[in-house]
Chains A and B, each alone.
Chain A
Amino acid sequence: MKIKNSLVILLVMAFGVFLFQVYKQHQTQGSLNKTAAYYNTNTPDEVGASNVVTAIVVTYRGLDTLGEVTVLFLTAMIVGYILRHGGKEKPMKNNTSEILITAANVLIPGSIILGVYVFINGHLTPGGGFQGGAIIGTAITLMILADPLGSVKKAVLHITESLSGFTYILIGLAGLLFAGGFLDNRILPLGNLGNLLSAGAIPLIYSLIGLKVGTELSSIIASINETGNKTA
Chain B
Amino acid sequence: METFKIIMMATLAVVMIISAIMAVLSKEMPLAILASGAISLLASIFFLILASPDVAMTEAAIGAGLTTFLFFIILRKTEQNSHEDKK
Contacts and interface: CB of A to CB of B under 8 A. Distances in A.
A164 interface: no
Contact of A229 (B56, B61, B81): B81
Contact of A131 (B61, B70, B73): B61
A229 B69 contact: no
A229 B54 contact: no
Contacts of B54: 51, 53, 126-128, 131
B65 A134 contact: yes
A229 B66 contact: no
B52 to A, nearest CB: 8
A217 B66 contact: yes
B55 to A, nearest CB: 9
B80 A92 contact: yes
Nearest to A133: B61
Interface string B43-87: 000000000011011100110011001101110110011001000
Contacts of A229: 77, 80-81, 84
A184 B71 CA distance: 39
A137 interface: yes
B73 A127 contact: no
A142 B69 CA distance: 7
Nearest to A136: B61
A136 to B, nearest CB: 9
Contact of A137 (B66, B76, B81): B66
A66 interface: no
A126 B73 contact: no
Given A53-B54, A229-B80, A229-B84, A134 B69 contact: no
Contacts of B80: 92-93, 229
B65 A135 contact: yes
A38 to B, nearest CB: 19
B66 A141 contact: yes
Interface in A120-164: 126-128, 130-131, 134-135, 137-138, 141-142, 144-145, 148
B66 A127 contact: no
A185 to B, nearest CB: 18
Most chain-A CB neighbours within 10 Å: which of B66, B77, B80?
A: B66
A138 B74 CA distance: 15
Given A135-B61, A229-B81, 7 more contacts: A51-B54, A53-B54, A92-B80, A138-B61, A142-B69, A221-B70, A224-B73
Interface of B: 53-54, 56-58, 61-62, 65-66, 69-70, 72-74, 76-77, 80-81, 84
25 contacts: A92-B80, A126-B54, A127-B53, A127-B54, A128-B54, A130-B58, A131-B57, A131-B58, A131-B61, A134-B58, A134-B61, A134-B62, A138-B69, A141-B66, A144-B73, A145-B72, A148-B73, A217-B66, A221-B66, A221-B69, A221-B73, A224-B74, A225-B77, A229-B77, A229-B84
